[in-house]
Amino acid sequence: MQRRPRVWATRAQLAMSEVSRSRSCGKAIGRHRHLSKHAEVISEEMVKGSSPCPDGPLTIRSRQGSRRTRSSSAHVRFRPPPRCDAGIQVTQRLPRSGQKYWPAIEASIRPATARSYGVAWRIRVKPSLGRHRLEDITSPMIESAMVAWSGGASAKNDALAMLSRLLDGARRSRFIDYNPAREVKRPSMRESISPVSRALTFDQIRIMLELVPDGVYRRYLAALVYTGMRAGEATALRVGDVDFSRGVIRVSRSLSPGMRGELIEQSPKSHKSRDVPLIDALRPYAEAAARGKRASDLLFDGADGGRLTSHNVRRAVDWDELRVAIGKPDLRIHDLRHTFATILFDAGATAPDVQATLGHSSLQVTERYSRAREGVALRAGAALNEAIRADGLKPSGDSGMAHEDAPARR
């Protein structure tokens, strides 16, 4: 019985031989597909004898009966690779990457961040870079696109972060060798207006609370300005989070809108629980909010029992009219947090204590609220004057400083 011939061709050898016959990448890909569809048997046909020595030519028989002879040096059944084995680079454009990698990105970030990334993709990244192939996108191209992007530093950072995550996915899939977005400098997040200047004074706090009718909305605003909690953290507070005997409030959760606007309960922004003080000015509001409720109930709920958000609070208290009445026409809900941080520093609290109370990730963020640098010129001048007086120097007309013992010039 005649022995069935063995297969000796390698994928790389057959693929490279096809590519070498064509200078066009598209033509080479077409040949690959043809071989993948029609090649059935690769058998050896020795020029002399039937020895299994792989020195002779190989024959490819297709369904149509055509014969193609190739040389080979290893026995592996031919399976044309989907890409790259023949030196053919498969390209991908940015929108395709977005569809492919977005599910993994969305699963790794907070819902509010996913919403921001979605907006950044639709109105910034895709219109400016979506027509380019991944391998053509460079750092200077991204920087030029950022100049034209709408929005402030925060919006542009969201767009850059979203783009960087997509390119990271393409890099891991070997479509590109590196991520050019990582070489782009992030826009500065420093506000043009100091957060200290956005803070309310004690008189403005009093006027604001007096203008809001007594009830849940006044209690909610009082909690924001007297604890420095973020709006979502105050919304998620339960009655059991308030320790009236110790005078502290435990902040361990936050409510933020999801992709479809629904409120999702999650950890605070810093992913760490913290304690904030229950000061005397806030205690009456907290006690009124907790009265008749169970420990698991929301401390601050809406007039109809629903959950409060910064949006429905602004609408309920006529926020535009309120901030004009207190002399802050550009006041934001988040500025109540700035107010608390500034009050803490003015009261003499240390930067680490303020950082822990506000839940900041770094001292650099916290120190923006300190007024310590506002009087630096006056303090430096006073110290220098004191040193000069101690040395016996005094002003001497146009000649500048002169020592008391120095003889007068004639």
> For the domain that residue 299 is a member of, what is the CATH number?
1.10.443.10
Domain C-terminal end among 90, 121, 150: 90
Q: What are phi and psi of 399, to 5 degrees?
A: -80, 0
Domain C-terminal end among 61, 90, 119: 90
The pLDDT of residue 259: 65
Which residue carries 């991204």 as its tokens? 142
82 with 103, same domain: the answer is no
Structurally, the chain folds into a number of domains equal to 3
The pLDDT of residue 194: 66
| Alpha-carbon distance values, 180 to 109, 167, 230, 286 (Å) | 22, 8, 35, 51
Q: Which residues contact 24 (CB under 8 A, 6 or more apart)?
A: none
The pLDDT of residue 213: 92
The pLDDT of residue 114: 86
Q: Which residues contact 335 (CB under 8 A, 6 or more apart)?
A: 195, 198, 199, 200, 328
73 with 145, same domain: the answer is no
176 with 208, same domain: the answer is no
362 with 263, same domain: the answer is yes
Report d(CA 256, CA 124) in Å as an integer.
23
Q: What are phi and psi of 148, to 5 degrees?
A: -85, -10
The pLDDT of residue 296: 92
* Residue 383 domain-assigned (yes or no): no
Residue 127 belongs to a domain with what CATH number?
1.10.150.130
284 with 209, same domain: the answer is yes
The pLDDT of residue 261: 66
38 with 102, same domain: the answer is no
- Count of beta carbons in the 10 Å neighbourhood of residue 206: 13
Q: Is the separation of the CB atoms in 256 and 263 below 8 Å?
A: yes
Q: Which residues contact 107 (CB under 8 A, 6 or more apart)?
A: none
* Residue 291 domain-assigned (yes or no): yes
114 with 66, same domain: the answer is no
* Residue 195 domain-assigned (yes or no): no
175 with 317, same domain: the answer is no
* Residue 365 domain-assigned (yes or no): yes
* Residue 403 domain-assigned (yes or no): no
Q: Smallest Cα–Cα separation from 94: which of 132, 122, 128, 141?
A: 132
* Residue 189 domain-assigned (yes or no): no
* Residue 385 domain-assigned (yes or no): no
Helix (H) or strand (E) segment spanning residue 19:
helix 11-20
* Residue 191 domain-assigned (yes or no): no
| Alpha-carbon distance values, 157 to 112, 185, 366 (Å) | 15, 10, 21
The pLDDT of residue 398: 53
134 with 238, same domain: the answer is no
Report d(CA 294, CA 285) in Å as an integer.
17
The pLDDT of residue 274: 92
Question: Which domain does 280 fall in, by range?
Answer: 202-369
228 with 355, same domain: the answer is yes
111 with 260, same domain: the answer is no
Q: Is the separation of the CB atoms in 137 and 170 below 8 Å?
A: no
- Count of beta carbons in the 10 Å neighbourhood of residue 198: 19
25 with 68, same domain: the answer is yes
Q: Is the separation of the CB atoms in 164 and 181 below 8 Å?
A: yes
The pLDDT of residue 379: 62
pLDDT in tens, the chain (410 residues): 555 544 444 444 544 554 444 444 444 444 444 444 433 333 333 333 443 333 344 444 444 444 444 444 444 343 433 444 433 345 678 888 888 888 888 888 877 788 888 899 999 999 999 999 999 999 999 999 999 998 888 889 999 999 999 999 999 988 899 999 999 998 876 554 566 778 899 999 999 999 999 999 999 999 999 999 999 999 999 999 999 999 999 999 988 776 666 777 777 877 788 999 999 999 999 999 999 999 999 999 887 777 888 888 999 999 999 999 999 998 999 999 989 988 888 888 888 888 899 888 777 777 776 665 555 566 677 777 877 877 776 665 554 545 455 455 44
